[in-house]
């Protein structure tokens, strides 16, 4: 049976039709309880079922014989989703001759990815420069997603021992600490969204774009 746009699941069992109905209750600067519900039902459900839960399965059943590559690849996808949600931007592939990007569109993942690493706590403590963040983007994110390997000398370890997400000098990503940091950021977003009108406006733009 062919599905319509309204049938598409965007957060667990919730569909685009559910979002369009719920969206009418969302008012930037409005009731924090409604925004808490938006976080739990749409943002966290989508993130947890599609990304966080699978990572936990890999962590809990890991043998330290290569699953770190799968974990890190998923984490790199999460980074772009988190930052594009905070900014309220959606990705658009832009072939030659296509219309220019609108204010809330992007066609290059690198700037979104780097922005997250150098500006969001706690990652900015480990990626202190744009150069370091871009080297990670090219060596880890692009290496994993395009060639199923790390490049430019980067390696993936399980833990740092001191909570660091990465060491840009030694070119090591600590995937378990990276995951802990991602969860810390999600907790921050949970607390910030109900009270931040700018984040709320961005949230609506992002989920509108997911329903197109």
* Residues 101-134: tens digit of each pLDDT: 999 999 999 999 999 999 999 999 999 999 999 9
pTM: 0.94
- The percentage of residues in the chain with a pLDDT greater than 90, rounded to a whole number, is 93
User: What are the structure tokens assigned to 60, written together?
Assistant: 């809990």
Q: What is the mean pLDDT of the chain?
A: 95
Q: How far is CA 154 from CA 86, 149, 169, in A?
A: 28, 9, 10
> In which element (H, E) is residue 189 found?
helix 175-192
For the stretch 30-63, pLDDT in tens is: 999 999 999 999 999 999 999 999 999 999 998 8
Which residues, in sequence order, are CB contacts of 108 under 8 Å at separation 6+? none
Classify strands 90-91 and 172-174 as parallel, antiparallel or unpaired: unpaired
Q: Per-residue pLDDT for 189 more than 80?
A: yes
């Amino acid at each position: 049976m062919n599905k319509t746009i309204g049938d598409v699941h965007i957060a667990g069992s919730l569909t685009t039709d559910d979002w369009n109905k719920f969206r009418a209750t969302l008012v930037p600067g409005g009731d924090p309880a409604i925004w808490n519900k938006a976080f739990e039902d749409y943002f966290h459900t989508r993130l947890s079922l599609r990304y966080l839960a699978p990572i936990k399965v890999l962590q809990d059943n890991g043998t330290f014989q290569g699953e770190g590559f799968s974990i890190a690849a998923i984490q790199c996808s999460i980074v772009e989703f988190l930052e594009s949600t905070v900014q309220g931007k959606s990705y658009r592939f832009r072939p030659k001759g296509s219309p220019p990007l609108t204010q809330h569109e992007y066609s290059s993942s690198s700037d979104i990815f780097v922005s997250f690493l150098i500006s969001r706590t706690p990652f900015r403590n480990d990626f202190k420069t744009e150069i370091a963040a871009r080297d990670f983007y090219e060596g880890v994110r692009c290496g994993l997603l395009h060639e199923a390997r790390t490049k430019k000398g980067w390696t993936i370890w399980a833990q740092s021992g001191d909570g660091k997400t990465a060491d840009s000098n030694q070119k090591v990503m600590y995937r378990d600490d990276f995951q802990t940091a991602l969860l810390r950021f999600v907790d921050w977003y949970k607390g910030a969204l109900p009270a931040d009108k700018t984040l709320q406006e961005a949230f609506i733009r992002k989920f509108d774009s997911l329903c197109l």
